Amino acid sequence: MAAILGIWLAAVPGLPASASVPALNDVERSRQDEARHTESIESLKTDLALVRSRLDDLHADADAAILAYDEQQELLDEAEAAYSDAKESSDTASADHAASRREVARYAAAAYRGADLGQIDVWMGAEGPQEVVDRGGYVRLLADRRKVDLDRTRAAGLVGETMRDRARKAEQEREQAAEDAAEAKDIALEAVREQESQMESILAEQSEVEAALAAAQDNTAELEAERERALERARTASAPVALPEVDPLRDPHRQGDLSAGRQGRSAPEHLRETARATATENPRAGEKDRVGQSPAAPGDRSDTAPVAVCEGGALARYGNGAVPESALCPLPQTGEMLRADAAVAFIELDGAYRERFGQAMCVTDSYRPVSEQARLFREMPTGMAARPGNSTHGLGIAVDLCGGVNAHRSPQHEWMLANAPDFGWTNPEWARDGFEPWHWEFG
C-alpha cells in the first residue's frame, strides 16, 4: 500500500519529488533523542543545585578561615611588637648593668689609688691616720651604694632577659598559629575553586546538551512538519475542493476585544494579535510542538518566527507554583515558561542579547511548580532553597541563566547588568557581587 501511495504521490501534478513522507521511525528516534537529552538536562540541573549548595557552604568556610587567618595575623603583629619592646628593655637593662659595673670599678680604683695604706704615709701625712680612716670609710660606703645599684641593674637585666624570652616564645607560637591559619585558608579556597570548576564543567555540559536537545527538537519538528505537509498535499489532491475552515487565530477580520494600539493591552492580547499577523505570513504558525511552541528553532526571534499563544490573564487566583501551563507563555528556550508579561519582556531581552552575542540566552530554569520547589527544598541543605510556595520561580517571574551570564563579571553578565533593567529584568540586590549571578527576576 505504501508503494502504491508513493507512486501516486509522484504522479500528482505540482507535487515536488522531494515531498516524500518521512518514516514514522525517524520521527520516533528524534523524539527519543529529545527525551534522552531532556533527562540529561534534568540530571545536570540536580547536580548543579547540589554543587551550588556545597559551594555556598565552602564560601562560608573560606570566609571563616580568612577571618581566622586575619585574627592570627593581628595577634602575630602584636606578639612581634611585644617582643621588640621586651628586647629593647632587656638590651637597655643589660647596658645599664654593664655601665654600673664599669662605674663601680672606676670609683673603687680611684679611691684605692688615692689611699695608700703604707705605715709611713699613715703617720707622716698632713692629716695623719684619721684621714686614712675617713677615706677608707668613704670607700666602703661608696662601694656599698654601688653594689646596690649593681644588684638592681643585674636584676633588671634578668627581668629583661626573661621578658624577652617569653615574648620570643609567644612570637614563635603566634607564627605557628598564623602558618596554620594560612594553610587552612588556602585549603578552604582551593575547595571553593574545585567546586567552582565543577560547576563550570556542569554548566558547559548542560550548554552542550541544551544545544543537542535544540537540534533534536528542530529535527523532530521538521520531520513531523514535512510529514504533515506531504500528507495534507495528498489529501488536498485527492479530495474535492472545499473552503478551508477558518482558524480564529488566523482570521485577520476577527475583532474580539483587541484594540488597534499596543498601549493599554495586556500581554496575552498583544501575543494573540502578533500570532494572528504571523500566521497570515507564515502558514506554519499554527503547528505546535509538545510544549506549545511552534517548530521554529529555539531562540529564533526573526520577524517571521511564530509567537506562541497563551491564555495569560491575572494569575493572583493561582497559588505560588500552582499556575497552570495554559496561563503561562513558553520562551524560545524549549520547555521554559513564564508569566505573560515576563515572557514578553524576556523574549525582547533575548532578542537584544542575541544581537549582541550571536546566540540566544541559555536558560536552566524558569517557572518552577510547587512539586519541584518541594523536591529542591528536601534535597538542598536548610536555608539554601525557598520553602515550597515562596519562590519567585513559582510566580513565573524568575529565571536562572547559563551560557556566561552565570559567571560574575563576565562580558555576558556585565551586559545583562547594564541592559536587562531596560526590559524590566534585574539581578536582585541579594544576588549581586557573585552570590547568585545566574538568578534574574522580572518586575
Domain ranges of the chain: 24-238, 250-443
Q: What percent of the chain has pLDDT over 90?
A: 18
Number of Cβ within 10 Å of residue 438's Cβ equals 24
369 falls in which pLDDT band (50, 70, 90)?
very high
3-state percent breakdown (helix, strand, coil) of the chain, nearest 5: 65, 5, 30
Return the pLDDT at 38.
80
Flag the least confident range among 96-105, 172-181, 207-216, 398-407.
Answer: 96-105
Residue located via cell numbers 500581554 = 267
DSSP lists the bridge partners of residue 145 as: none
Q: Retrieve residue 262's grid coordinates.
A: 499596543
Better pLDDT: 298 or 187: 187
Number of Cβ within 10 Å of residue 7's Cβ equals 9
The one-letter amino acid at 168: R
Q: Retrieve residue 353's grid coordinates.
A: 542579547
CB 382 within 8 Å of CB 354: no
Query: Which SS3 state, helix, strand or coil, does residue 404 take?
Result: coil
The one-letter amino acid at 442: F
DSSP letter string, 133-196: HHHHHHHHHHHHHHHHHHHHHHHHHHHHHHHHHHHHHHHHHHHHHHHHHHHHHHHHHHHHHHHH
DSSP letter string, 316-366: TTSPTT---GGGSEE-SSTT-EE-HHHHHHHHHHHHHHHHHHSSPPEEEE-
Return the pLDDT at 15.
38
The dihedral built from the CA positions of residue 137, 141, 147 and 153, taken in this order, carries a sign that is: negative
Integer Cα distance of 418 and 427 in angstroms:
11
The 10s digit of each residue's pLDDT in 217-235 is 777 677 666 545 443 434 3
Flag the least confident range among 91-100, 226-235, 393-402.
Answer: 226-235
Better pLDDT: 417 or 108: 417
Return the pLDDT at 136.
57
The 10s digit of each residue's pLDDT in 56-89 is 777 777 777 787 777 777 777 777 777 777 777 7
Q: Retrieve residue 424's grid coordinates.
A: 524590566
What mean pLDDT value characterizes the chain? 68
Return the pLDDT at 43.
80
Judged against a pLDDT cut of 70, whether residue 262 lies above it is answered with no
The 10s digit of each residue's pLDDT in 135-192 is 555 556 556 666 666 666 667 667 767 777 777 777 777 778 778 878 877 887 787 7
290 falls in which pLDDT band (50, 70, 90)?
very low
In Å, the largest CA–CA distance within the chain is 167
Helices 129-238 and 24-113: crossing angle, nearest 10°? 170
DSSP letter string, 64-85: HHHHHHHHHHHHHHHHHHHHHH
Helices 340-357 and 411-419: crossing angle, nearest 10°? 130
Integer Cα distance of 127 and 186 in angstroms:
85
The one-letter amino acid at 268: P
Helices 370-379 and 24-113: crossing angle, nearest 10°? 40
Better pLDDT: 262 or 23: 23
pTM for this entry: 0.38
The CATH class given to the 24-238 domain equals mainly alpha
Return the CATH number of the domain spanning residue range 250-443: 3.30.1380.10
Report H helices in 114-128: 119-124
Contacts of 183 (CB under 8 A, 6+ apart): none
Return the pLDDT at 186.
83
Report H helices in 239-291: 267-281
Return the pLDDT at 200.
82
Integer Cα distance of 145 and 189 in angstroms:
65
